[in-house]
């Protein structure tokens, strides 16, 4: 039994904006019956102002897919196309008071239908639709879509990639490719620049932030290569770390420690020094 919010339940039992606009100005169709969910979005757009005056949907899918469709249409009505495009799948999930992690792909489908509809209105090719290399054959997910959803939702684990995009949830043969893409997205990318606070941190805040960066940024990368690191202590600005797994005794251990230090300097405080116990 899924833990749906009251909002999801309510919008599933009493959906709004169901149907199809006759002679619509824009149509966005995503998903397919084979994959288990599909959404057809039709829009009435005021040509003068580019404003969405009406939006309707038809959805084949589970409760969260139907509720996400109502959320999408409610969120975009009255907005200009450009304003509407700033809506992300996270906004859809937020409107619903949250979705179970495994159901986040329903919110992603809503956002994609919107993109497709806007592209059809503007006579453009739908972004990401035909471009990119298909990574997950079971659900037809391209690397472009994967990269976008991973970035937008700050995804760091394989399970989450599957929860949000479905990729890897079928035969599972693309899992190595998904791991590669996940690593590529986060490797050269200074993630969450905003993480680094401007004001001075208290000791407790500093330790908490170091732990957070360790969990989100550093350990996943090390673990991908069979290694790991454990935060032993924080003494003033000295961060004491112990390398684990394949990192132990690795010839590159010094380089790894320097890289960790750089990351912590970048995301927490310039004053930090990383040491082994």
Q: Which residues pair with 235 in a beta bridge?
A: 238
**In angstroms, rounded to a whole number, what is the distance separating the alpha carbons of residues 232 and 69?**
47
Interface with other proteins, residue 36, by CB under 8 A: yes
Closest approach of other proteins to the CB of residue 213, in Å:
31
Closest to other proteins by CB, 156 vs 166, is: 166
Interface with other proteins, residue 6, by CB under 8 A: no
Q: Which of 169, 182, 241, 268 binds other proteins (CB under 8 A)?
A: 169
Look at the block and give the residue holding tokens 């190595």: 176
CB–CB of 73/110 below 8 Å?
no
> Of the ranges 12-20, 143-151, 219-227, 246-254, which one interacts with other proteins (CB under 8 A)?
12-20
3-state secondary structure of 255: helix
Closest approach of other proteins to the CB of residue 94, in Å:
21
**In angstroms, rounded to a whole number, what is the distance separating the alpha carbons of residues 93 and 98?**
5
Site string for other proteins, 43-72 (x = CB under 8 A): ---------------xxxxxx-xx------
CB–CB of 107/11 below 8 Å?
no
Residues 6+ away with beta carbon under 8 Å from 48? none
Closest approach of other proteins to the CB of residue 12, in Å:
7
CB neighbours (10 Å) of residue 248?
12
Interface with other proteins, residue 194, by CB under 8 A: no
The answer to whether 35 is a known catalytic residue is yes
> Of the ranges 28-36, 151-159, 185-193, 230-238, which one interacts with other proteins (CB under 8 A)?
28-36
Query: Which of 123, 140, 125, 127 has its CA nearest to residue 85?
Result: 127
Query: Which of 138, 195, 126, 127 has its CA nearest to residue 162?
Result: 138
Site string for other proteins, 88-127 (x = CB under 8 A): --------------xx------------------------
Q: Which residues pair with 31 in a beta bridge?
A: 38
Closest to other proteins by CB, 65 vs 214, is: 65
CA quadruple 200, 203, 208, 212: dihedral positive or negative? positive
Interface with other proteins, residue 39, by CB under 8 A: yes
Residue ranges in 130-149 that form contacts with other proteins under rule CB under 8 A: 138-139
CB–CB of 172/200 below 8 Å?
no
Binding site for other proteins (CB under 8 A): 2, 9, 12-13, 15, 18, 29, 33-34, 36-40, 58-63, 65-66, 102-103, 138-139, 162, 166, 169-170
Q: Which residues are catalytic?
A: 35, 106
């Amino acid at each position: 039994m899924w833990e749906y919010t009251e909002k999801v339940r309510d919008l599933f039992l009493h959906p709004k904006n169901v149907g199809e606009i006759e002679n619509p100005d824009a149509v966005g169709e995503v998903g397919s019956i084979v994959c288990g969910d599909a959404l057809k979005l039709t829009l009435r757009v005021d040509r003068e102002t580019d404003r969405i005056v009406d939006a309707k949907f038809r959805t084949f899918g589970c409760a969260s897919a139907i509720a996400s469709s109502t959320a999408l249409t409610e969120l975009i009505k009255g907005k200009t196309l450009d304003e509407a495009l700033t809506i992300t799948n996270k906004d859809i999930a937020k409107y619903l008071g949250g979705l179970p992690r495994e159901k986040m792909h329903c919110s992603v489908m809503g956002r994609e239908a919107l993109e497709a509809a806007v592209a059809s209105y503007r006579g453009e090719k739908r972004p990401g639709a035909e471009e990119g290399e298909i990574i997950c054959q079971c659900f037809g997910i391209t690397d472009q879509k994967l990269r976008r959803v991973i970035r937008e939702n700050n995804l760091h684990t394989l399970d989450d990639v599957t929860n949000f995009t479905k990729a890897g949830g079928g035969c599972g043969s693309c899992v190595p490719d998904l791991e590669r893409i996940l690593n590529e997205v986060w490797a050269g990318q200074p993630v969450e620049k905003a993480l680094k606070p401007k004001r001075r941190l208290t000791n407790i805040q500093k330790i908490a932030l170091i732990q957070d960066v360790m969990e989100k940024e550093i350990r996943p990368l090390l673990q991908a290569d069979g290694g790991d690191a454990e935060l032993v202590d924080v003494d003033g600005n000295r961060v004491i770390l112990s390398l684990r797994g394949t990192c132990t005794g690795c010839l590159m251990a010094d380089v790894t420690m320097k890289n960790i230090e750089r990351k912590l300097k970048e995301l927490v405080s310039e004053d930090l020094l990383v040491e082994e116990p």
